[in-house]
Amino acid sequence: MNLKYFKKKYEIPFIKSKLIIFILCLPLISCFNNESLEGDRQDLYQQEMDKYLVNDGQIIKLSSQKTITSIQQVDNGPTHLFEHSKFDSSLSKLWETTLKNRGNISAPVFSNNNIYILDGSANLYSFNLNGKKDWMISLSPSEEKKQKTHHSGGIAIDKNNLYVATGFGELFSINLAGSIKWKKRFDSPFRGAPIYNNDKIFIVNSGDIAIAINKKGETIWTLEGATRPTLLRKGVSPALKNNKLILPFSSGQLTVVRPNNGSEIWKTSFDQGNKGESYSVIGDFGGSPVIKSNVAFALSSSGQLLALNLKNGRKLWSVSIGSNSTPLINGGSLFLVSTKGKLVRIDENSGKVIWSRNISNSNISKNKFFGPTLAGNFLWITGTDKYLRKFDPSSGKEIFQFRLGSQAIYRPFAVHNKLFVVTKSGKIIAFN
C-alpha cells in the first residue's frame, strides 16, 4: 500500500478520534484530583499530539520542545527570538517569594540555577530555583536612598558576570556572588535592559543615546538617536544578529549600525499608526525588535508592526497593531498580545492576520496583557487582571485560567520545566 495514501486516509482520523475520546474523558479525570486546575491534562495531550495541534480542522507545526535552563538576557537573547520551552505538568503553584520593594521591577533573568531580578528601589537579588534568597545588594546611589521607587532598567548575563542597568543612570558589572566589579554613570536613566554579545554590552538610555561598552567598563562608542520628549518607554532593548545592531529610539526611529563601531547601515521611521493608541505615558511597555533569519520584526510606539529586510531596511509588510510585549514567532506564525486586549495570530511571511481573539470579556480597556510564552505546546499569557491564561496556538481558544491574586507585569517565563510569573506587588511565583 502507498504510504502517503495510508497516512492521508488514516492518520488524521485516528488522531481526531483519540482526541475526541480524550476530551470526553476529561470530566472523569478531574474527579480524581480536586486540587487540579480546570482544563486538560497537558501531559496526556502532548503524548498524543506531540508537535501537532489539531483544532477545527487546522494543523500548526510548532518547533520541538526544549528544556530551557537559562534566559540570560531580556526576551531570550540578542535576537529576542523565543524558543518552545518544555512544560508538561498540570500547573500547580510551587512557591512564591516577595521582593523588598515593588514598583517598576525589571524582567528576571535565569542562569546557573539562579534567578536574578532588580526591584523598584534598585535592589538586586539572587534566588535559587526553590525560591530561597542567596543574596541581595543595593545599587541605589547614596544620594537617592530615600527615593522609594525608580524606573528599573534590566539585566544581562555572560558566563561569570551580571550587567545591570538602573533607573539612576548607572551600569554595573557584578559577579555571580554579588560583588561589584565596576560601575559607570550616565546622564540619563535606563528603562530598558542591556543586551550582551561578543564581549560587548549594548543599551539605549532614556535620553535616546545608544551606548556600547566592553567587559572592562570602557565606552566603545555612543550614538544619539531621534527623540520624542513626551514618550518614556520601559523595557525596550536593542537587537543584534549578523553583525547588525538594531537600535530602537523613542521617536519610532529604528537605526541599524555595525556593533563594532556604531557606523550606520540604514534607518527607518514608523508611520503614525493607530490614532487610538496612546504611548505617551511613562511606564508604557513596548516590544523589543525580533530578528529571525534576515527579517527584523519591530513594534512602533505608534501602534504599528513592521517586517523589514535586515540587510537594507526594505519594508516587507506592516500591520496596524500595538502591543505591550515582544512578539513570539513559531510555526510560521507571529503571535502577540495587542493593546486592545486581543491575542492575535499573524502569518509570519505575509503579515495576514489569521485570527484575533479577545483575551478577556471584562474591563479590556483597563487591563494590560503580556505574552505570549510558548511552553508545552500552548500559549501562556498574564495580565493586570490578575490571571494566568493558557491558549491553543492553532485556534486561539482559551484552555483554562488561573487566578494569581496580583497583577502581573511581564509575560510568563518558562525555565527548567517550570513557569515563573512576576507581579506588580513584588512577588515571584513559580509553577510546575
Q: Supply angle C-alpha 68, 104, 419, rounded to 5.
A: 25
Confidence of residue 233 (pLDDT cuts 50, 70, 90): low
Residue 69 domain flag: no
> Contact at 8 Å (CB) between 205 and 194?
no
Mean pLDDT of 130-139: 96
Q: Is residue 8 part of a domain?
A: no
What are the backbone dihedrals phi and psi of residue 76, each rounded to the nearest 5 degrees, phi first?
80, 15
The number of angstroms, rounded, from the C-alpha of 43 to the middle of its chain's C-alpha atoms is 24
Sheet holding 244-248, edge to edge: 239-241, 244-248, 253-257, 264-269
If DSSP codes are grouped into helix, strand and coil, which group holds residue 42? helix
Query: Taking all residues of the chain, what is their mean pLDDT, rounded to a whole number?
Result: 83
φ, ψ at 30 (rounded to 5°): -65, -20
**Contact present, 99 and 119 (Cβ < 8 Å):** yes
For 10-21, the pLDDT digits (tens) are 454 554 555 555
Answer for the pair 260, 221: CB distance below 8 angstroms, yes or no: no
Domain annotation covers residue 39:
no
Length of the chain: 432
- Report the alpha-carbon distance of residue 213 to residue 210 in Å, rounded: 10
Say if 145 falls within a structural domain.
yes
Please check whether residue 331 lies inside any domain of the structure. yes
Whether residue 341 is contained in a domain is answered as: yes
In angstroms, rounded to a whole number, what is the distance separating the alpha carbons of residues 9 and 3? 10
Answer yes or no: is 197 within a domain.
Answer: yes
- The whole-number pLDDT of residue 91 equals 87
Domain contains 311: yes
Tell whether the model's pLDDT for residue 275 goes beyond 50.
no
CATH number at residue 282: 2.130.10.10
pLDDT digits (tens, 9 = 90+) for 96-117: 999 988 778 999 999 989 999 9
Residue range 188-230, pLDDT digits in tens: 999 889 999 999 999 999 889 999 999 999 999 999 987 765 4
Task: Say which DSSP state 142 is in.
Answer: G
| pLDDT beyond 60 at 56 | no
Per-residue pLDDT at 7? 45
Q: What is the pLDDT of residue 230?
A: 47
Q: What domain count does the chain have? A: 1
Task: Residue 381: give the domain boundaries.
Answer: 74-431
